[in-house]
Amino acid sequence: MGNLTDMPKRTTTSVPVIDISPLVNNSDDLQHTARQIDLACRDYGFFYIVGHGISPELQQQLEYLSHQFFSLDLADKLKIRMALGGKAWRGFFPVGGELTSGKPDLKEGLYFGKELKKEHPKVQAGVPLHGSNLFPEIPEGYNKVILDYMEALTVLGHTLMEGLSLSLGLEKTYFKEKYTTDPLTLFRIFHYPPNEDKNIDPLWGVGEHTDYGVLTILKQDNIGGLQVKSQGEWLDAPPIEDTFICNIGDMLDRMTGGYYKSTPHRVLNLSGKDRYSYPFFFDPNFDVKIKAVALEHIDRSREMYSDRWDGASLHEFDGTYGEYLLNKVSKVFPELKEGLG
């Protein structure tokens, strides 16, 4: 596949690193891992994972082929532009084509979801965010690598949700039985070009935001630039070799009544180099109604309903996850709003 640029790895961070191999292997030490997840979720809303079992070779293939795609001319990348994906919300968008809090991001990207053929009932019914992916014709083999990676991360997502269930004192299968039996899985590949103009205010690769669903599993490259806001302070979350970094989304915040809060984060690429990231979103079933989880056994003496970065209230929301998500999507890609409605 060739060699990727060999960049030094920065490993200094206060965000916890958790070995989830007991969860992956279903060993006897699950409660210790669950306690670590609980502390990380309460104190940071983010945590690194090791012992995840995702093939290094698959990750290397994903990186290599992604670099090849984003090195193509813009005209070639636009052959699979998101406007061609319709309600499925798939494909490529150029730099500045995605908004965060109404401002364009300094990044370009590819959007993928679970591969569903036109015969699938939800596709037949025209349910938004369901359908076939738009795969690039080159580089060769990219589509298989993407689907293999998404399948592996879906398994990992179910495993991590078992850990989150246990961390809340619930049965291991709680979330799977009630919310993620058929999870909405969305995968993004982002390319952040270097910020070339040093004479202007920094252009955010992604501005301050929280994620929409229950769980994000992020693969970073070696460049860095991710920052998370913990207890009012911005912390670097640099790449650590052979880890993924996970964070809580809005719906887990909603389900736990604020016991686990979705944590604001942002990206600023000041490296002078190209940055790549690979976020995988493991979200509730599209049509499931979001309700609060009964957590009577949990100490709620800590502040639960602090003000959010955007002034919104998750805990007033009453509806399905799909309704919540579509409202958010329409603000990120306003030109696609009509097609998603």
Q: Classify residue 7: in a domain, yes or no.
A: no
The pLDDT score that the predictor gives to residue 335 is: 60
Question: Total structural domains in the chain?
Answer: 1
Q: Classify residue 324: in a domain, yes or no.
A: yes
The pLDDT score that the predictor gives to residue 6 is: 37
The pLDDT score that the predictor gives to residue 329 is: 76
**What's 128's domain CATH number?**
2.60.120.330
Are 244 and 278 in contact, with CB atoms under 8 Å apart? no
Distances (CA, A) of 235 to 127, 145, 266: 39, 32, 10
Q: Classify residue 5: in a domain, yes or no.
A: no
Note the pTM of the prediction, 2 decimals.
0.90
The pLDDT score that the predictor gives to residue 167 is: 96
Are 228 and 247 in contact, with CB atoms under 8 Å apart? yes
The pLDDT score that the predictor gives to residue 239 is: 95
Q: Classify residue 10: in a domain, yes or no.
A: no
Beta carbons within 10 angstroms of residue 110's beta carbon: 26
Q: Residue 49: phi, psi to the nearest 5?
A: -125, 140
The Cα 172–Cα 162 span in angstroms is 5
The pLDDT score that the predictor gives to residue 13 is: 63
Q: Bridge partners of 187? A: 112, 280
pLDDT along the chain (341 residues), means of 10: 37 82 92 96 95 98 97 96 91 86 86 95 92 93 97 98 96 95 97 72 80 96 93 91 96 91 91 95 95 74 54 73 85 60 51
Name every residue whose Cβ is closer than 8 Å to that of residue 301 and which is 6 or more positions away in sequence.
none
Tell me the residue range of the domain where 80 lies: 17-340
Give CA torsion, residues 17, 228, 55, 109, to 10 deg. Answer: 180
Instruction: Supply the DSSP string of 207-258, one letter for each residue.
Output: EEE--SSSEEEEEE-SS--EEEEETTEEEE----TT-EEEEE-HHHHHHTTT
The pLDDT score that the predictor gives to residue 79 is: 96
Q: Classify residue 1: in a domain, yes or no.
A: no
Q: Classify residue 2: in a domain, yes or no.
A: no
